[in-house]
Amino acid sequence: MIVAKYPSLETKWLHKHAPWMPQPKVVFSRLKDASGLYYRPERGVFLSNGIDRSNGVIVVDPDKHIIVDAVIAHEWRHHYQHFHGPYKKGPSWYDLSDKYSYKEAIIKYFVQSPTEMDSFIFQIKHGKDKDDEMWLEWIVKETEGE
Ligand SMILES: [Zn+2]
């Protein structure tokens, strides 16, 4: 059972950090291999379920993650990056999860992508998930030797 602190799935609680940005829609949907997804804004483009992409869309799979806030915070940061940051670079999660163990894939995913790392840090700060401490420990241990 999902108990969301923000059951209306809005983003005002995050928006205060950048109130000039358009508010993305947030919707629940089943996702194949991720707990969240971000669609950048595209005027006149609609998702298959009729959702308007004009302001960007955050998709959350409530079955994958217990803490919905963490997913919304993470994907919202990609929305912020769309307007203020570099475009997403780094390996695809799908490629990594095919080749490596879950732990190795998590480490490589965040270490090799500044935008994913930025979203992860934002997620920890604003909507921490139960696994975040463990992931952070893996990542920190991996990068300590460098
Ligand atoms: Zn991400």
Q: What pLDDT is stored for residue 4 in this prediction?
A: 45
Q: Determine if the pTM surpasses 0.95.
A: no
> What's the rounded Cα separation, in Å, for the pair 83 and 22?
10
Distance between Cα 16 and ligand 1 center (Å): 20
- Residue pair 31/39 in contact (Cβ under 8 Å)? The answer is no
**What's the Cα-to-Cα distance from 61 to each of 32, 46, 52, 85, 117, rounded to whole Å?**
9, 19, 18, 25, 21
Distance between Cα 50 and ligand 1 center (Å): 23
Count of domains observed in the chain: 1
Quote the domain boundaries for residue 115: 2-143
Distance between Cα 146 and ligand 1 center (Å): 24
Ligand 1 (ion): residues with CB under 5 Å are: 116, 119
Q: What pLDDT is stored for residue 93 in this prediction?
A: 86
- What tokens appear for 108 in the block? 């490589």
Distance between Cα 3 and ligand 1 center (Å): 22
Q: What pLDDT is stored for residue 115 in this prediction?
A: 92
Q: What pLDDT is stored for residue 9 in this prediction?
A: 64
- Segments of the chain assigned E as strands: 25-28, 36-39, 57-60
Q: What pLDDT is stored for residue 47 in this prediction?
A: 87
- pLDDT values of the chain reduced to their tens digit, one per residue, 146 residues: 344 444 446 777 788 878 888 999 999 888 888 889 999 999 999 988 888 999 999 999 888 766 888 999 999 999 999 998 777 778 988 899 899 999 999 999 999 999 999 999 999 998 888 889 999 999 999 888 66
Q: Edge-to-edge strands of the sheet including 36-39?
A: 25-28, 57-60, 36-39
Distance between Cα 114 and ligand 1 center (Å): 10
